[in-house]
Chain A
Amino acid sequence: MTKHKEAKKAGRAGRVKTPEALFLGELANQQSSKYRLAQGFGVLFAVSLVLQAWALANVFSDMALHQTFSLSLLVMGLFALLLRALANFARERVCTSASRDIRYGLRRKLVSHLTKLGPARLRIEEDAALSTRVYEQVDALDDFFSRYKPQVFMVTLIPCVILMSVISVSWIAFFIFMMTAPLVIVFMIFVGHKAAQANRRQFSVLAMLSNQFMDLSQGLAELKRLNRTDEARERLSTSASAYQKTTMNVLYLAFLSTATLELFASLSIAMIALYLGLGLLEILPWQVGSSPVTLTQAMFLLLLAPEFYLPLRQLGNDYHAKQKAEAAATDLLEIVNTPVSMSAQHQAADSVDTDSTASNRTRFISFQNLSWSEAGRHRLSPITAEIAQGERVWLSGESGVGKSSLLHLLLGFEENYQGAFFVNGTPFNAMKLDEWRKSLAWLPQTPEWVNGSIRRNLLLGIESPSEDVIQAALAKSQCDDFIQGLPSGLDTKITELGAGLSGGQMQRLSITRALLSNADVWLLDEPCSGLDEETAQAVLTTLDQASEGKTLLIVSHDTHPIAWADKHWSLSTGGLHQ
């Protein structure tokens, strides 16, 4: 039996493990001590199981034959049952705590990884979808770590313990168990393989159904305008019915694997009961006139029979946990496998160039043969250029040529660049990133807002200035008019504005924020791309007035030319043209 299992295991290990399985295995290894403890409780559970069966079998046979029973044996049996319950309790607590440690640890890791990725995280997914991964998908691993994983051990342990205790009692019963156990396993593999496929299909079918529902719901306003809600309802209804039919076909098969186990469990109880009954009547065809077992032994076997298959059945029930976990692991791996290019950060502290003359020079940024490639793909072709302090540079170029990547470099989120890049004559990777970042203002395509009032967003991360300063900044970015029109002015919640605040107004507020932060270097990533032309021009004009005296690098398409820029850089795969 054990050998059989080991052979199976070896065979399984020989197969190529999927990255998902490896990932889950690694996570489980973090908590290996807890899992070992759980296994210890599992052994206690199995032993008390046998003890309980033995004690109760004695009590039962005495009752049947002599109408009496021994109190001490009864107490021992019930005590073993209690021990079983306690072992189970402890095992559960250990396993759930292991699962919690794994999940909450993983979640922290994911959040900090996403933080380090910075703007690159959006290459994986948008924020809302990322939050689903970080929360829901991580929690989807729970059943796997708290139930499936420890159950795999019990599946091997309990049958082995039962077989060992049965062998001394009855060879026939031993053979009944031995015969059915591999059959169960073979059937499990045979049906289980099919069921796994079926399960996966059901998974994707359900996902499709949800997707359709989401799609139609998101466009509901449009459907209402088109007066087509009834058709859409019809569609939802018919496709749900159709999916129900196909899914059921899949499920008929999927449940066969559970049913097989159930059948073996039931039949072996029945077989053992019949065999033992006939044996006790001394009318077994090959053994007429003598009984192979005593009543006590018979009872012992009967009590153990259901327990033999129980762990396997539970594993069958928890099989979907594995499915769910692997599906989730696929999504999580995508986040984990997105590399963070922060290798240079450690050296930064050591090699700080304390060249005091450098800080006295006029602030300027210079790139020398700066390029950046990732996974063999050029994100930015080598460029050499300089920006003087107070200079305002317009950067244009086709999409995908690396304009945003250059900004991300300046923001300090991508440090695996090639070539050199100086700020104030200091190499960028030797600078104190925190101080450099404090001198930046960032105005992306969609303004960055947290939930809260306008005031809170404007003052995000800076010392609260006087009301006059705020009003001056508002006036300079031409926000004062519409802010005054709001019912609660600056204290209006950003989220409540919803559709009421136009894209142009949002960008203007970003300008206010940049002004209030007193940042010297402004980085702008297509601030006008979501706006119509007229609004865009107005915002650019405001920007011109507000950013006077600041060093500014603005990425903008040729459709929104920056007439007031001091320099125009045009970036292409060939390099930079001034």
Chain B
Amino acid sequence: MSRSSINKKAKLTLKGLLLANPWGFVIPVILGVIASLTGVGLLGLSGWFISATGLATAIGTGLTFNYLTPGAIVRGLAIFRTAGRYGEQVTAHNHLLGLLRILRLWVWDQRVAKDAANLHEQSRGDLLQRLVSDLDQIIRWPLVVFLPWLYALLSYAAVAILAYIILPNLLWPLAIAAVCHVIVIPYVCGRFASHSVHVAQTLGVHRRSRFISVFSALITLTIRGHWKDYAARLNQLDDRQRRMEIITQNAVSTGRLLGYIVTIGLLFSCFYLVSNYSDVTQSWTLADGVHGTWFVGFILSLLAVNELVLPLVQSFVAQGQSQVGLRRLNQLSQNVTPQESVDQVITPQKANQTQTTVHTMEFKQFRGFHSPSNMGNQAIDLAIKTNDTIWIRGESGSGKSTLLAAIAGDCLSEGEAVINGEEQSIYDNSDYQSALSYLPQSPYIFQQSVGANLRLGNPNATDEQMLAVLKAVALDSWINDLPNGLATLLSSQGRNLSGGQRKRLALARLLLRQSPVLLLDEPFDGLDKATIEVICQSLQNDYKPKILVLVSHIESRLGDDSRIIELF
């Protein structure tokens, strides 16, 4: 990463993408240039060779003609072209995969730097899915847009040398055609179609969210007899998308046709420049000093260049798509507030090493709320010290969970928070958060093994420790029944676990952290009495935290010797 110019705070640009790993990029570029130039050279040289041999025989110098050198060069070019193309593809894809890694880590860093409330918003499955496909789109940019452009440019340069040798005047049409092919046509087609490419991309997102919104209310809409209107609007969006697609595709096809026409014009003007009409023979004769054999080679090279130029037209579509993707990705970083404690996040910080201990927590006129609905709990005063157990109760909708999330620094809050006698801003404060373990209402279970999920709590936990902690949350019989035990892979989002099991597994993970403060949101929901008893037993003995704050509507032994906070 140190070499890369895509650093954590910078915005993503296409240029930055090229320079992300410059040395990894040099090899495919060189190989690709070799392959393209030898491809052009092969055809040009072959044309010259054949016409030269034909001429040699015709004028009787055939027997002295040195055919070995050009023959060897022709074979060499053929091999270089193959090897170059193969090498280019392999190294370019290697580079591309490397780029994918760098970009994913960049996205990761941006998201890590996000504060908790914004993070939730982005964690929705479909948004992330879009992010992933954006990344795949963007990394193709160098391969699909930049490299073909470079090859076309360099081939033109190479042919220009030949043109200069034959007749310097040929440079004029060549330069004009090059400008048309490499810059004007892609640019004009790009301008013409970029709007529809962008609209199509935006429509795609819009259409998708519309689909989800409408389908999630499918039954209600159907029984109200309104489904048809909504489905029709969905179709309208689809039709608009289709119109955009037509514009884009027509622009590509037309661009390619224009490319051909420019080539035809170029060929014609080249022929015109090198020849004169002679009235005597009533035919066109090549100008003095122009060798027919060389000129044949030149024309054949131009035909080869034409093949290299044609894909350029298409590249503007890829260009447009990459730009839209890039803009969306950059939105990730824009929302990061400047005074964000980015450095804290970046410096490796092992929870166990720098663990601060919390002795007292005091909250004055403290209130957690969600933005922008501003819903949350009534402001309260609360003082907690070591060895306290607090039980927060209240009606549904009284903001119990919000208050707990705010205490955990996971949710926006107002009022004063005094930790260890010092007033702190606890929201998204990673120093403070490293001292506490917070079990949210629906914790996340990773698609890894049971053991790996637990080790997120404590990377050094032994198998014995893990089994012990599973026993503490009454998951011992569950783990013993699994044929692979701790190595059992859990499916996506722990879908093969019941809600209660998921929560207990997350609790076990937290208990392994052994942090002084434990905040639990409805840990007993959906559990039977015996299981609740086991968990209470563990929390009061082996895994007793210094401070325990509990949100629950279920009576338990933990509640008996706790201070009760009633929310209204």
- Chain A residues with CB under 8 Å of chain B are 56, 60-61, 63-71, 74, 78, 81-82, 84-86, 88-89, 92-93, 96-97, 100, 104, 107-108, 111-112, 114-115, 118-119, 121, 127-132, 134-136, 209-233, 236-237, 240-241, 243-244, 247-248, 251-252, 255-256, 258-259, 262-263, 266-267, 269-270, 272-274, 276-278, 280-283, 291, 294-295, 298-299, 302-303, 306, 411, 413, 434, 437-438, 440-442, 444, 448-451, 460-462, 482, 485-487, 492, 496-502, 504-505, 513, 517, 531-535, 538
Which residues of chain B in 67-120 are interfacial with respect to chain A, using CB atoms and an 8 Å cutoff?
67, 70-71, 74-75, 77-79, 81-82, 85-86, 89-90, 93-94, 97-98, 100-101, 104-105, 107-109, 111-112, 116, 119-120
A517 to B221, CA, bound (A): 12
B192 at the binding interface (Cβ < 8 Å): no
Q: Could you say which of B132, B235, B374 contacts A210, with CB atoms under 8 Å apart?
A: B132
Contacts of B107 in A (CB 8 A): 217
Tell yes or no: B164 within 8 A of A by CB.
no
Of B279-287, B540-548, B559-567, the one touching chain A: B279-287
Decide: A244 and B553 in contact? CB cutoff 8 A.
Answer: no
Chain A residues touching B, majority SS = helix
A104 touches B75 (CB 8 A): no
Which one of B65, B79, B209, B396 contacts A281 once the chains associate, using CB atoms below 8 Å?
B65
The answer for the CA separation of A449 and B220 in the assembled complex, in Å, is 9
Count of interface residues, chain B, beta-carbon cutoff 8 Å = 157
Contact of A225 among B54, B286, B296, B408 (CB under 8 A): B408
Task: Contact check, B275 vs A69: say whether CB atoms are below 8 A apart.
Answer: yes
- Contacting A at CB under 8 A, from B404-456, are 408, 410, 430, 433-434, 437-438, 440, 443-448, 456
Is the C-beta of B538 less than 8 angstroms from some C-beta in chain A?
Answer: no
Interface 0/1 of B222-259, CB less than 8 Å to A:
11111100110011001000100110011011101100
What would 18 A/B residue contacts be, using CB atoms closer than 8 Å? Answer: A131-B211, A131-B215, A219-B444, A224-B112, A224-B430, A227-B433, A262-B82, A274-B74, A278-B67, A294-B54, A302-B50, A411-B223, A440-B223, A451-B209, A461-B225, A500-B375, A501-B375, A531-B396
Residues of B close to A63: CB separation below 8 A: 51, 286, 292, 295-296
**Is B281 in contact with A68, judged by CB distance below 8 angstroms?**
yes
| Residues in B neighbouring A492, C-beta threshold 8 A | 373
Whose C-beta in chain A lies nearest to the C-beta of B441? A532
Residues of A contacting B101 with CB < 8 Å?
Answer: 236-237, 240-241, 244
Contact call A411/B219, Cβ cutoff below 8 A: yes
Distance in angstroms from B79 CB to nearest chain A CB is: 7
Contacts A108-B238, A449-B213, A533-B553 known; 16 new A-B pairs at CB < 8 A: A60-B47, A70-B284, A118-B218, A119-B219, A131-B211, A135-B211, A214-B132, A251-B89, A252-B90, A255-B89, A283-B67, A306-B304, A449-B216, A486-B373, A487-B373, A498-B373
Cβ of B54 and Cβ of A295 under 8 Å apart?
yes
B54 touching A64, Cβ below 8 Å: yes
Query: Chain A interface: which of B345-353, B383-391, B461-469?
Result: B345-353
Task: State A306–B86 Cα separation when bound (angstroms).
Answer: 18
Q: Shortest CB–CB separation between residue A484 and chain B, in angstroms?
A: 12
Give the Cβ gap from B496 to chain A, nearest Cβ, in Å: 14
Given A86-B257, A461-B226, verify A269-B46 contact (CB < 8 Å): yes
The reply to whether the CB of B530 lies closer than 8 angstroms to some CB of chain A is no
Residues of chain B with a CB closer than 8 A to A248's CB: 90, 93-94, 97
Knowing A92-B253, A217-B123, A270-B75, the reply to whether A85 touches B261 (Cβ < 8 A) is yes
Cross-chain contact A219 with B50 (CB below 8 angstroms):
no
Chain B residues within 8 Å of A283, by CB: 62-63, 67
Contact of B97 (CB < 8 Å), options: A132, A244, A277, A482: A244
The 3 A-B residue pairs whose C-beta atoms are closest, nearest first, are A461-B224, A85-B260, A295-B54
Which segment of B12-20, B154-162, B264-272 sits at the interface? Answer: B264-272
Pairwise interchain contact B446-A216, C-beta atoms closer than 8 A? yes
Cβ of A215 and Cβ of B260 under 8 Å apart? Answer: no
What is the CB-to-nearest-CB distance from B466 to chain A, in angstroms, rounded to a whole number? Answer: 15
Please tell me if B370 contacts chain A, counting CB pairs below 8 Å: yes
Q: A450 and B133: CB pair below 8 A?
A: no
One of A223, A241, A281, A485 near B53 (C-beta < 8 A): A281
Task: Report the separation of the CA atoms of residues A237 and B292 in the bound assembly, to the nearest whole angstrom.
Answer: 59
Q: Tell me the complex Cα distance, A130–B252, Å.
A: 31
A263 and B82 in contact, given A214-B129, A244-B98 (Cβ under 8 angstroms): yes
